[in-house]
Structure 1
Amino acid sequence: VVDILLGVVGAVVGGFLFNQFGEPGVSGFNLYSLLVAVVGAVIVLVIYHALIRRRGAF
């Protein structure tokens, strides 16, 4: 459940990041918008799992 919520948050983050780099973010329901959402979700999930793994190591 946490991964699903983080994936949704990551989709928003992906749109924000693409806009910051001068690319269009989510522009409707198309393949490009799906790519933007997936990239953002992967970034957020990788950061989250890296932080959780590091916290568990202590």
Structure 2
Amino acid sequence: MKTRLLAILGLNAGYGGTAGVLTVLGLFTAHVTGNFVMIGDELALVDMAVHKSDLREL
């Protein structure tokens, strides 16, 4: 059962990646999504640092 589930999930992920590359003219969408996640993480950390410095001034 687990082997079959892993195969289905692997095929689904491969299909999603291939469909994304073909749809967006060669752009690997998973890579772009990862970059957006990292950008959001950095922005959140900067925002938290700003709020912490504001609290220290009180």
TM range (shorter): 0.3 to 0.5
TM-score by length of 2: 0.46
**More helix by percentage:** 2
What TM-score, normalized by structure 1, do the two folds share?
0.46
| Bigger radius of gyration among the two | 2
